[in-house]
Amino acid sequence: MPEFVPGPFSVPRRTLMGPGPLNIHPRVLRAMSTPITGYLDTAYFKVLDEVVEMLRHVYQTTARTMAVSGSGSAGMEAGLTSLLEPGQKVIICSYGYFCERMVSMAERIGAEVIQVRSEWGRVMDRALLRTALERNKDVRLVTAIQAETSTGVLQPVAELSKLAHDHGALFMVDCVTSFAGAEIKFDGWDIDYAYSAPQKCLAGPPGVSLVALSERGMQAVRGRKRPPSSWCFDLGLIADYWGPEHKHHHTSPIPLIFGVREALAMALEEGVPQRIERHARVAEAFRAGVTALGLRLPIPPDSRLNQLTVIGVPAGIDDQKVRQQLLDHHGIEIGRGLGQFQGKVWRVGLMGESSQPANVLALLSALERVLPEFGHEVASGAGVTAASRVFAEKPVQVP
């Protein structure tokens, strides 16, 4: 066999403006390149303790916080695996692609799944959840996604949580796309378990899930008849490692935690309310530019996510070819539609490090060049001008 010498590692430089991951700040990348410690080193425990406290600040909680090794889906599976036992009932509020993923996971662990379906692209119909709870008096858990990444809708988490607790159920929420980009009141909304990921609004690296677990949730984990089927995703064991005693459980992804620590520090330096406001202003300008290009925004204004904008693909245009053109000729990545929205929408993420005016203007300028090639005529400069007008009226401070 001939000798294989791959040469230096290299990938194309991209401006990431899809549903995630997004671009990472150089300060976070530098933290990730710091020489690693052992995962049972007291110096590393100091980093873990800092992450715990900063997570509490962003989640607005005094509850246990920690990181689960793996993507946001690992946080999802850890919650379902640890809070549910085989045969127990779980109501899954379903209004998007990632809600469907919860259904698959819950079924695999042997839970009795009650899927409450609501219209994609709209807020959850709370009456449907109320009816399901009234018909099933022994529900163990209710789940929801605050910012459904496939549809670009912000859901009324506080109302869903109250309904769950009024009927004696635990409440679990996905905050993957909302964490550090939309308000989360873990204690104020009486949430039992929340999970998120750092590669979106936090502008950190993918590969861990950032979670919070209430005392009521921990009692449910500790009080199980049998341990969770997954040793890796047992929240009780993970909490013991992240707790004061730092009991051995797994080999922590140390460089990723270094990056998360620095990304959290940057978010707190900017101020979480200020970061949320930045996402709102950047989204407003981008939507003004999209509208000026004659493109449709299918999500109602009062429920749109600021961190992810869904754009209707004009009739007769191949969405994949437009996305590929943006990637090949402009180095910009945007996302495709999933599930019911496949081929019908583009998803543009303006989150974390990518949530800044320069990216908005670059994408609108690229769309002004690309769309006419596919038959959608636009006035030259229309999108950029509309967005620039918003930025002039509401300047954005980028940290």
Report which residue type is found at 143: T
SS (H, E, C) 167-203: CCCEEEEECCCCCCCCCCCCCCCCCCEEEECCCCCCC
pTM (two decimals): 0.96
Strand 112-117 with 308-312, pairing: unpaired
Q: What is the dihedral of CA 216, 221, 223, 225, to 10 degrees?
A: 150
Q: Domain extents for the chain?
A: 26-269, 272-393
Q: Are 179 and 58 in contact, with CB atoms under 8 Å apart?
A: yes
**Are residues 93 and 268 in contact, defined by beta-carbon separation less than 8 angstroms?**
no
Q: What pLDDT score was predicted for residue 1?
A: 66
Contact 78, 201 (CB under 8 A): no
β 89-94/139-145 pair status? parallel
Which phi and psi angles does 315 have, rounded to 5°? -55, 135
What does the alpha-carbon distance between residue 76 and residue 145 come to, in Å, rounded to a whole number? 10
| Stretches in the chain below the pLDDT threshold 70 | 1
* C-beta of residue 224 within 8 angstroms of C-beta of residue 140: no
Phi, psi for residue 153 in degrees, rounded to 5: -115, 135
Cα–Cα distance, 292 to 306 (Å, whole number) = 18
Q: Give the helix ranges, DSSP H, for the chain.
A: 26-32, 42-59, 72-83, 97-108, 126-135, 157-166, 215-222, 235-242, 254-270, 272-292, 319-330, 357-370, 382-393
- Architecture of the structural domain at 26-269: 3-Layer(aba) Sandwich (3.40)
* pLDDT value at residue 2: 73
Closest alpha carbon to 121 in 347, 316, 295, 349? 347
What pLDDT sits at residue 148? 95
pLDDT at 398: 84
Instruction: Look at residues 203, 218, 253, 201 and name the one whose alpha carbon lies nearest to residue 232.
Output: 253
Specify the residue for token string 């978010």.
267
The class level of CATH for 272-393 reads alpha beta
Residue 198 near residue 206, CB atoms below 8 Å: yes
Q: In whole angstroms, what is the distance from residue 105 CA to residue 113 CA?
A: 10
- pLDDT score at 5: 84
What's the CA angle centered on 147, arms 143 and 153, to 5 degrees? 115
DSSP 52-119: HHHHHHHHT-SSEEEEEES-HHHHHHHHHHHH--TT-EEEEEE-SHHHHHHHHHHHHTT-EEEEEE--
* Exposure class string for 366-399: b at 16+ Cβ within 10 A, else e: bbbebbeeeebebeeebbbebbbebbeeeebeee
